[in-house]
Structure 1
Amino acid sequence: MTSGHDDVIWHVRCRPGTTPDGHRRVVDPLGDYTPLVQPLPPEAALAQLRGAGRRLFGAAPGGLAARFRIQALAKHGVDTHIGIADTWATATTASAHVGRSGVLHLPDHRAVEEFLAPLPAAPEWSQPTACRSRPPPSMRSTGTCTTRSSCGPRSWT
């Protein structure tokens, strides 16, 4: 999924341990917001919302995401965390750091920079075994290992 100028990406993360049926019950209603949905089993999905679709619903991306969270919890009993940004990687990282609201919207590059600045650039947890050892010099500040270290689930409190 790539993002155009007026597009945003939602990374919808279900509570760990969500059943496959619960995951499907979260992914299917995303189609009511956009046809551009990519399920990421077992517990996540990406959705690209374009400007025209957002205008149709009459709400900002954060407001739509909050509405979606409430619907997923009320109708299907599945708690979600939603990160919103202009790239899938940033949205994925944001969904792991949403706070009490359950939604984190990074609307511009300044917000992204402020959000990412304090996050670790070294592997710390929740990464494949290959990443647990010291990464090669080319991957010390970018790449799969460092991306995974900031994208893993933090807390559901």
Structure 2
Amino acid sequence: MTSQTHAPEVSTVMHVRCPDRLPEELYRQVLEQLAGLSPVVQALPPSAALVELKGALRYHGVQARRLGEVLRIRTISRLGVDVRVGIGPSITVAATASAQVELPGGVLAVGPGEVADWLGPLPVEALHGIGPRQAEVLREYGIHRVGLLAATPPATVQRLLGGRAGRLAADRARGIDPRPVVPRALPATAAVRCAFPRHALEGAEVRAALLDLVVRLGRLLRRRGQAARALTLVLKFAGGATWDTTRRLPEPSAHDEDLRALAYRLMDAAGLQRGRLTGLVLKGEDLVDAGQVAEQISLDHARESRLVAEETMDRIRDKFGPGAIGPATLFRRAG
């Protein structure tokens, strides 16, 4: 007897874009409509979502484009919300397609055999995940179209955009994106907290505790695959009083360096003198899926090295526990 081998089933991904500034309640209702098509829905707040259609196509017995049309009819008729729908064999292709749909809505489906021909003529900034600064650098070197980016040696793209960002850009220009759609309803916030064993005054002890919260929050966000648009710091005082303030980040981030800079500004804004603190709470607010955040480049090699070190430390903590490495180890002065 001869055994038959079957090629792996090709994924079919739908990327849905809702109108900007859609109220949260309506956004949740759109997610419910998506769940009626497929059980594999990944929320991308504040106004987008991913749907894995592979199983849904077998169940409904129709083509992917038809499911996109059904979704639009339902959201318009039931919710008064017109969405843009992109469909493709990967998250990158589907998300790029949804951005190309003309307003106020519509469906654009790209088949597995059409990816290279469809992506090739697009301007390089149209590729999902390419930020404005990355596109500017690529254009300076004559890479104006996605097809040219796909034809450029990956090592060259890495030199232009940096290691990780360059690898991702080179792969995705070729239609390579192995990320799966992960069923997830993202929580609106993420919080970490600490309590002082005795009343503490603003100073080295409080700053060390705040730094520890930054590291814990950053790791929590990265493990969830999220990024924060804003931070809230809550100070708890002896006697039960609290004080809090919120500020937005320049761009969504889950990196310790970005979170730390804003957290320190929040603490400075408190203007503490002799207030006796009993605890701190640091919250990441207005969370978005990290896959939706364009990796901007700064041409700052020191920053890129810190981000690589951050990934290494996350792996160490995952293997040996959260206490294996911490702020005291990272920022200890020499001497």
* Corresponding residue for residue 305 of structure 2: none
Query: Can you list the C-alpha shifts for 1:48-92, whole angstroms capped at 9, x where unaligned?
Result: 0124x3132231100111011110111011110111011001100
Give, in whole Å, the separation in 2 of the partners of 1:104 and 1:123: 15
8 A Cα contact 2:22 2:47, kept in partner = yes
Secondary structure of the 1:42 match is coil
Q: How does 1:69-108 map to 2 (within 5 A)?
A: 69-99=72-102, 102-108=106-112
Question: Is it true that 1:139 corresponds to 2:139 in the alignment?
Answer: no
* Corresponding residue for residue 16 of structure 2: 12
8 A Cα contact 2:125 2:135, kept in partner = no
Which has the larger share of helix? 2
Give, in whole Å, the separation in 2 of the partners of 1:47 and 1:127: 22
* Corresponding residue for residue 25 of structure 1: 29
* Corresponding residue for residue 61 of structure 1: 64
Give, in whole Å, the separation in 2 of the partners of 1:34 and 1:123: 27
Task: Return the structure number with greater relative CO, CA threshold 8 A, min gap 6.
Answer: 1
* Corresponding residue for residue 46 of structure 1: 50
Query: Can you list the C-alpha shifts for 1:80-135, whole angstroms capped at 9, x where unaligned?
Result: 011101100110000011247710111123x21121111122589x9768657637
8 A Cα contact 2:134 2:161, kept in partner = no
Give, in whole Å, the separation in 2 of the partners of 1:74 and 1:10: 20
8 A Cα contact 2:20 2:47, kept in partner = yes
Q: How does 1:114-129 map to 2 (within 5 A)?
A: 114-121=117-124
Question: Percent sequence identity over matched residues?
Answer: 30
Give, in whole Å, the separation in 1 of the partners of 2:46 and 2:83: 13
Give, in whole Å, the separation in 1 of the partners of 2:106 and 2:23: 20
Give, in whole Å, the separation in 2 of the partners of 1:85 and 1:29: 20
What's the TM-score once normalised by structure 2's chain length?
0.37
8 A Cα contact 1:22 1:76, kept in partner = yes
Give, in whole Å, the separation in 1 of the partners of 2:86 and 2:126: 21
Secondary structure of the 2:100 match is coil
8 A Cα contact 2:35 2:41, kept in partner = yes
What letter corresponds to residue 84 of structure 1 in structure 2?
Answer: I
| CA spacing shift, 1:122–1:65, aligned 2, 3 Å | closer
Look at both structures and tell me which one has the larger radius of gyration over its CA atoms: 2
